[in-house]
Chain A
Amino acid sequence: MPMQAQLDRRAAVAALLKDRKNTLVVSGLGSPTYDLHSVGDHDGNFYLWGAMGGAALIGLGLAQAQPGKPVLALTGDGEQLMGLGGIATIGVARPRNLDIVVIDNQHFGETGMQASHTGRGVDLTAIATACGFATTGTVRTLEEVERLTRQIAEPADGPRLFVIKVLAENPPRSLPSRDAVFIKNRFRAHLGFAAA
């Protein structure tokens, strides 16, 4: 029986994005969007407030359009579970610049902390491995997250998926704009594309 995770999600995400350089980030709805914003708003962030199951696949389209830039899909266990098929699609597409990081509290935190599949034996890293991901891993401590951050900064042979097991609690919300058109246009301007 694995130990109950003790890691604070905000500390984990802050460590992960400490030196993000030119990384483009897409965050899944709910807590990962608040976590990403809590580190500091950034023009290279695209925050989801819906489209559950889509974060990693938005990451795929973006990674294919920008093969020279690292793309990070930062999402939660519930969001990634809704997009399980997308792990197969990404495994087949095999981008070398896409990392999926699942902030896994093993619960649906937005809706009353109901237990999710990942606390009941479903292992997203094993699914990603079976789908042909180049690298996968699970980390549980801040030191391991810091090591993971250095690992992610290295080039990859294909897509990677990492699970960060965190304590199931909802820190105070840190809310980015919910105006998707604004966030989209700001993101594209960051990459040098004029607004339509």
Chain B
Amino acid sequence: MHSPQPNPDSRTSDDWPSELYRILKAADVRQMSYVPDAGHSQLIRLSSADQDVTTNVLTTEEEGVAIAAGAWLGGQRSVLLMQSSGVGNCINMLSLSAIGRFPLLMLVTMRGEWAEFNPWQVPMSRATQPSLEAIGLKVMRAETAEDLIETVESAAALAYESDQQIAVLIGQRLIGKKKW
């Protein structure tokens, strides 16, 4: 009988999405909402297959900010996934998280900053961190898989245990060059 658990020694840095899934499960996150990004595809797949996690595909990212607040009112933890272009869509809705001190964990895959082929991704990439900070979120960044896992673990604790509003920016260097 083989163990279904991966051997920790054999984990590769490519498998960070599975590690994020494990961290979110350990943090008892029960709702996930997303506008898809290639960098989040494995985490979305794992969560969608999980009966204990309600997933919502969004038409625009600010919907997920409102869903996360509603989930918390009802006693559940929610995580919101998007790419950096979606951060701009969220700004006014983040008033809700900020003024209500609602726990919020956003995982943001960065575009427009590392080997980017699409110049249209660059302006919002540049505005991502300053606009999040301007509306009152704490921004954390990770550039390596090891750092990302530790960062999301601590961000989840800050968000759900200390009622903070956190965006974790996942560097484009970590996600790799988009193939198209």
Q: Is the CB of A66 within 8 A of B75?
A: yes
Say yes or no for A1: interface residue by CB 8 A criterion: no
With contact pairs A51-B93, A89-B59, A180-B99 given, residues A58 and B67 touching in the complex (Cβ less than 8 Å): yes
Min Cβ gap A46→B in Å is 6
A26 to B67, CA, bound (A): 12
A58 touches B70 (CB 8 A): yes
**Contact of A3 with B by CB under 8 A:** no
**Binary interface profile of B, 48-75, with partner A (CB < 8 Å = 1, else 0)?**
0000001011111011011111111111
Name the distance in Å between B85's Cβ and chain A's nearest Cβ.
Answer: 16
Say what secondary structure dominates the interface of chain A.
helix
The answer to whether A61 and B30 touch across the interface, beta carbons within 8 angstroms, is: no
Q: Which of A46-80 contact B (CB under 8 A)?
A: 46, 48, 50-55, 57-66
Please tell me if the beta carbons of B59 and A88 are within 8 angstroms of each other in the complex.
Answer: yes
**Closest B-chain residue to A65, C-beta based?**
B74
Do A193 and B62 contact each other (CB < 8 Å), given the known contacts A57-B70, A61-B70, A180-B100?
Answer: no
> Which one of A33-41, A102-110, A117-125, A183-191 contacts B?
A183-191
User: Count the A residues whose beta carbon is within 8 Å of the partner chain — how many?
Assistant: 37
User: Which of A60, A63, A66 counts the most chain B CB atoms within 10 A?
Assistant: A60
Q: Mark B132-167, 1 if CB is under 8 A from A, else 0.
A: 000000000000000000000000000001110000
Is B92 interfacial (CB-CB < 8 Å)?
yes
**CB of A86 within 8 A of chain B?**
yes
Bound: A193/B62 CA distance, A? 26
Binary A-proximity of B79-99 (CB < 8 A = 1, otherwise 0): 000000000000011011001
B71's nearest neighbour on chain A, judged by CB, is A61
* Cα separation A51 to B68 with both chains bound (whole Å): 13
User: Any chain A CB within 8 A of the CB of B109?
Assistant: no
A92 within 8 A of B: yes
- Given contacts A58-B67, A180-B99, whether A64 and B76 have CB atoms under 8 Å apart is yes
**Chain B hits for A83, CB < 8 A:** 63
**Most interface-central of B31, B58, B68, B100 (chain A CB within 10 A):** B100
A188 to B92, CA, bound (A): 24
Q: Is B16 an interface residue (CB 8 A)?
A: no
For A178, the closest partner residue in chain B by CB is: B99
- Residues of A near B56 (CB, < 8 A) are 60, 64, 89, 92-93
The residue that A50 contacts in the complex, of B70, B73, B95, with Cβ under 8 A, is: B95
Query: Which 6 pairs, one residue from A and one from B, show the smallest C-beta to C-beta distance?
Result: A61-B70, A65-B74, A85-B59, A54-B66, A57-B66, A180-B100
**Interface pairs (16), CB distance under 8 Å:** A46-B73, A50-B92, A51-B92, A53-B93, A55-B66, A57-B63, A58-B69, A61-B66, A64-B31, A89-B56, A184-B101, A187-B73, A188-B72, A191-B74, A192-B75, A196-B161
Please list the residues of chain A having a beta carbon within 8 angstroms of any beta carbon in chain B: 24, 26, 46, 48, 50-55, 57-66, 83, 85-86, 88-89, 92-93, 180-181, 183-184, 187-188, 191-193, 196
